[in-house]
Homo-oligomer: A and B are copies of this chain.
Amino acid sequence: MNWESYVRKVVPYTPGEQPKKTHMIKLNTNECPYPPSPAVQKVIAEFPYERGRLYPDPTADRLVGAIAEYYKVDKQQVFVGVGSDDVLAMTFLTFFGSDKPVLFPDITYSFYDVWADLFRIPYETVALDDAFHIRTSDYERENGGIIFPNPNAPTGVAMALSDIRKILDANRDVIVVVDEAYIDFGGESALALIDEYDNLLVVQTYSKSRALAGSRIGFAIGNAKLISYLNDVKFSFNSYTMDHITIEAGRAAIRDEEYFREITQKIISTRERAKVELKQLGFTFRDSASNFIFATHNEMPAEQIFKALRERDIYVRYFNKPRINNYLRITIGTDEQMDALYQALKEILPC
């Protein structure tokens, strides 16, 4: 089979388990423990299904418009995609065309190196310091672009806006992408800097703080020229990616500011309580500004805890990777779910 030699062979990203048990406690993929806004329910219930025969609006104008309004930017500054993964993949394809390496942290979102490999983009990872912080001085060197999450994943550690500014100031000639999947849980958004830096792209998602992982909505905000290049590539890939219901659900969700504040505040409160509880149980972790805590235990190996929890139908995330293979990434669930977790941990951990 000679055709095999022309196949693009890749090592695909492995998403977190999506077990289908009814009674499990799912704290492994950073989903929101609360349902989407009731406004989303209304949109779905009232959707005129006959419209399904027609192509959706390729520009997703009503969704783009609602996001632009919410963040007080022009529509021309907003790009939407099928989850932030789609937005980030398009970003790699569009902007990382240099033969110099793209830089990102060694401990970070595990899709970055997958996209780089897929699109044959050279890259180098930059080690976080031992406290899991990004050292801005490490990014003051020749490169083909920079990307990092803030707060970082899976560490949960947030970076100050002043540090992001340092990286931007040292890198005016390449695109700097700040991946803000978890920003609504406590970080400072780099959106404050987009008017100042034409090479800054901020990416966010509906999958966490908007409780809509199931709808697949991500977006990027930056200067209009960046967005127009992204759209050109997107329209060269697939014109119609956002379906009718998704466009309307996304619009409804972002306009329900009150509900958004309510659920993010609840998650933050539960997280702060989790910090106390987990510490008491013998875990240590860096301060998290996200909807998860990345923790290591003083006595029991992470993998062992991971397996013991799974036997109790409690799913957290374990990465068998250098430097982090003794950590668990625990998504913040409801208070009830977290209580069940603490109870299970009390049973599992050595007294």
Chain B residues within 8 Å of A290, by CB = none
Q: Is the CB of A55 within 8 A of B12?
A: no
Contact residues of A between 136 and 176, Cβ < 8 Å to B: 144-145, 172-175
Contact of A44 among B49, B58, B86 (CB under 8 A): B49
Chain B residues within 8 Å of A187, by CB = none
Range class of the A interface residue count = 35 or more
Does A18 sit within 8 A of B, measured CB to CB? yes
- Closest chain-B Cβ to A55's Cβ sits at a distance in Å of 4
Does A351 sit within 8 A of B, measured CB to CB? no
Per-residue CB proximity of A219-262 to B under 8 Å, as 1/0? 00000000001011111111111011110010000000000000
Q: Is the CB of A52 within 8 A of B40?
A: yes
- Closest chain-B Cβ to A137's Cβ sits at a distance in Å of 21
Nearest-CB residue, chain B, relative to A207: B55
Q: Is the CB of B233 within 8 A of A10?
A: yes
Chain B residues within 8 Å of A118, by CB = 93, 233, 236-237
Does A344 sit within 8 A of B, measured CB to CB? no
Does A41 sit within 8 A of B, measured CB to CB? yes
User: CA A136 – CA B170 in complex, angstroms?
Assistant: 57
Does A56 sit within 8 A of B, measured CB to CB? yes
Q: A52-B35, A95-B7, A243-B246 given as contacts; is B214 within 8 A of A15 (CB)?
A: no
User: Which of A26-34, A275-283, A294-302 touches B?
Assistant: A26-34
Chain B residues within 8 Å of A52, by CB = 35-36, 40, 211-215, 249
- Closest chain-B Cβ to A42's Cβ sits at a distance in Å of 9
Q: Is the CB of B13 within 8 A of A236?
A: yes
Does A94 sit within 8 A of B, measured CB to CB? yes
Contact residues of A between 1 and 46, Cβ < 8 Å to B: 1-3, 5-15, 18, 20, 26, 29, 31-36, 40-41, 44-45
The count of identical subunits is: 2
User: CA A236 – CA B13 in complex, angstroms?
Assistant: 5
Q: Is the CB of B214 within 8 A of A51?
A: yes
Contact residues of A between 78 and 104, Cβ < 8 Å to B: 82-83, 85-86, 89, 93-98
Q: A15-B58, A18-B55 given as contacts; is B6 within 8 A of A236 (CB)?
A: no
Contact residues of A between 153 and 209, Cβ < 8 Å to B: 172-175, 198-199, 207
Contact of A53 among B47, B57, B58, B214 (CB under 8 A): B214
Q: Is the CB of B8 within 8 A of A93?
A: yes
Nearest-CB residue, chain B, relative to A43: B49
Contact of A40 among B7, B49, B58, B214 (CB under 8 A): B49
Listed by A's residue number, 20 A-B pairs whose Cβ atoms lie within 8 Å are A7-B95, A7-B229, A8-B93, A8-B97, A9-B229, A13-B236, A15-B235, A18-B57, A33-B53, A35-B50, A51-B214, A52-B211, A52-B214, A53-B214, A82-B82, A83-B238, A89-B237, A118-B236, A214-B244, A215-B243
What is A's interface to B at a CB cutoff of 8 Å?
1-3, 5-15, 18, 20, 26, 29, 31-36, 40-41, 44-45, 47, 49-58, 82-83, 85-86, 89, 93-98, 114-115, 117-118, 144-145, 172-175, 198-199, 207, 211-216, 229, 231-241, 243-246, 249
